[in-house]
Structures are given as C-alpha cells and as structure tokens.
Structure 1
Amino acid sequence: MNDPGARAVLSASEHDPIVPPAPHRTVVRRPPRALDNDVLIGDVVVRRLGDGDSVEQLTTLLHRSYADHAEAGRVFFASYQSVQDTAHRVAGGECWLALRGPELVGSVTVAAETRVPEECPAPVGAGFFWQLAVDPALRGRGLGRQLMALAEKRIAALGAPQVVIDTSVEAVELVAWYRRRGYAPVGSWRWGVTNYESVGS
C-alpha cells in the first residue's frame, strides 16, 4: 500500500506462523522471565524514570532518535510530541531510562495492558512497549536490543503472556529488525497522530 499514514502490527509466539510483511501489521511475542533490578549494559545504566528526571530531556532524546524517520517522511509521534505528550505517555506504563554517566542515551516504556483503538488487531491481554529510543550516536552497539529485552522481561513480570509493538509499515529496516528478533506481522491500523499505516510487532 502507498498510504503514508498506515501502520502495521506484528506478532509472534511459539505457535504463531510467520506471516509475510503487509502494509499494516502488529507483532506479538511471548516475553522471557522477569527482571527486577536496574541493569548495567557496558557503561550504560538502565533504571526506572524517577521524580527528579527531566521529561524535557526525554522528549529531546525521542525527537533525536526518531528524526531520521521524520526526514524519510515517516512522521512517528515521538518525532514531534510535546513535553506534555511525553509525560502523558510515560504515565501509561513503566518508563525505563538508559544513562551513560549523566547523559540520557536511551529509553523504553512498557505496560502489561493498555487501551488501544478498537480496530487494532492486538490480542486481548497482550503487553505493549513504545517509545523505544536510542541516541543516534550509540546505534549499532546493542543498546536497542537490550532495551527491547528489558521491555519483554518487564511485561512478563507484569503478567502479560505476549508482547505487542507497532511501527510504520514503510520502515522496512525496522520491521526487519523486529522480525529477526522473533516478531511477525499480525495486522495493521492507523493512528491519528502519524502519517502512515502502522505495523505491530
């Protein structure tokens, strides 16, 4: 499809077949064991967002992290959301920050269950993660993969049997990245705050 606003949903579990990519998809995956403590990834510490942390700094990281998508014409909400939007989105789950010294270099927000549009093909009871972000200067070092693993573990600890994410169907490199990690398309829909069809993972 050439609809620039369509989103896709991806899904995977031990019993789901891999479905070929389609314009709109959701991906679901059975998460591994729970993680209880802060995590050290090389020289990066990953911990929960706290009262003293800056939502403004997080918003700036999100804008930087999603800028390449916006430049490619895929307007992810995280590429332009306001500080108030960020605060609202992190309040909907557990927000985890990746810090190298005092510098915020990554983030992910997770929830065991969240409200989604009725047309979203996500399975009932699935957990979600969103705002997965890595500072562009640190890409290719495994931090995004580690943040995704943390999200999966936290979602399992919160009691959800599956994980769902979504991304632009046009972000073929990102959809391929999720598929290499066991996610598979299951459906699609379109958010009102983006310019593309969404694929979930």
Structure 2
Amino acid sequence: MTEPVKAAKRTASGEAVIRLFTEEDSVRELTCLLHRAYADHAAAGRAFFASYQSPQDTAHRLRGGECWLALQGESLVGTVTVATPYVAPQGYPAPTGVGSFWQLAVDPSQRGTGLGQRLLSLAEARVAARGAAQVVIDTSSQATDLVGWYRRRGYVPVGAWRWDVTNYDSVVLLKDLVPR
C-alpha cells in the first residue's frame, strides 16, 4: 500500500517554502511527485528515469547529493537534488570539477508559477557555493521545450549521452556560473 499523495495547495502568500530534505520527509511522497512531474514526458514516449523510478531508486539518488523540497503548506510541490563535484560516468562530455543537479521537478499544478525557476536558481547557487564555476545537466534531446527552457537560462549544448535507464539520447548542457 502506498502513502496517499497530498493535493498541492497554495499558501496564503502563494509562494512555496523551499527547504532541505530531512529524515522525517517521505521518500515515497517524493517519488510520487517525480512521477507526476514527469508524466507528460512518459505520455510522449520518453522514459525519463524520474517518471518510473522506485522509492528505493529515489533514496539512492538522494544520497548522491543535497535534496531540496518546495512545499505549499504541507504539500510537496517541487524538488531538486544538487551535487558538487559531479561524479560523471567515464566518457560523459563534461569538464572535471563541475557541479550538477537532477530530479528538478515541479508538480503540474504549479507550472507557470515561477517555482521551476526558483528551484533552478537555488541549484545553481548551491553549486557555486560548493565551489564549482560551472554546472552540467542533461535531458532528452526530444524534449525540445525543456531544452529551450534551459537554453534561455544560459545553458549551452556540449555533447550527447545515452543513459541505460532511458529510451532516448540526452543533450548535455553546460552553464558558466562565474564570469571568466
């Protein structure tokens, strides 16, 4: 039996509170948020790992970084996990010493509120605070709206990658966080 997923609701101020994941937080609820947030990609035939990963997979990915949660009242509406330095697989097209983030997710009810931008800004700030001058990410090359969203925020393509848990080629995107 799974835990019920709380419906997202807005606080009086309308702005989500962002804080670090704690041991008291539910990995199952976080996994459900990821599934909801990536459901449109799955419906389009793109098997983003976050669209189907298990709570055990989520827990494993949390251990690889610093997980942040966005809450509206008690409802989980967003997340991002940050890692610096990023330990990339051999052959991954990224410079040494960069930071990264993954599982950037916003509940569908919160799209268009600026929460995704807030989580992205937090991830970039945390990567920089942890000593990296650049951040690298990857996403489906087929997710053109998402690739465009990152590009409008200063990310540039630097290569391609194929994960064994997806059914698509990823575009690898890099952004300088500190002017050179």
Alignment TM class, shorter chain as reference? 0.7 to 0.9
Deviations 1:117-165 (A, max 9, x none): 2121011100000000000011011100110000000001111110011
Q: Is the 8 A contact 1:92 1:114 kept in 2?
A: no
- Look up the match of 1:75: 47
Q: Assess, with a 3 A threshold, how the Cα gap between structure 1 residues 50 and 193 changes in structure 2: closer, same or farther.
A: same
Q: How does 1:165-180 map to 2 (within 5 A)?
A: 165-180=137-152
Structure 2 CA distance, aligned partners of 1:150 and 1:75?
Answer: 26
Q: How does 1:1-201 map to 2 (within 5 A)?
A: 42-201=14-173
Structure 1 CA distance, aligned partners of 2:41 and 2:68?
Answer: 22
Q: How many residues align?
A: 161
Q: Is the 8 A contact 1:190 1:198 kept in 2?
A: yes
- Look up the match of 1:37: none
| TM-score normalised by length of structure 2 | 0.87
Partner amino acid, structure 2, of 1:110: V
Name the SS for the 1:43 alignment partner.
Answer: coil
Deviations 1:75-96 (A, max 9, x none): 1000000000000001100000
State the shift of 1:42 in Å.
4.5
Q: Is the 8 A contact 1:63 1:79 kept in 2?
A: yes
RMSD, aligned CA: 1.0
Indicate the structure whose relative CO is greater, using CA pairs within 8 Å and at least 6 residues apart: 1
Identity %: 66
Deviations 1:36-75 (A, max 9, x none): xxxxx95210000001000000000000000000100111
Structure 2 CA distance, aligned partners of 1:109 and 1:142?
Answer: 18
The runs of 5 or more residues in structure 1 that have no matched partner are 1-40
Name the SS for the 2:38 alignment partner.
Answer: helix
Structure 2 CA distance, aligned partners of 1:78 and 1:106?
Answer: 13
Structure 2 CA distance, aligned partners of 1:117 and 1:152?
Answer: 21
Q: Is the 8 A contact 1:132 1:148 kept in 2?
A: yes
State the shift of 1:116 in Å.
1.7
The runs of 5 or more residues in structure 2 that have no matched partner are 1-12, 174-180
Name the SS for the 1:131 alignment partner.
Answer: strand
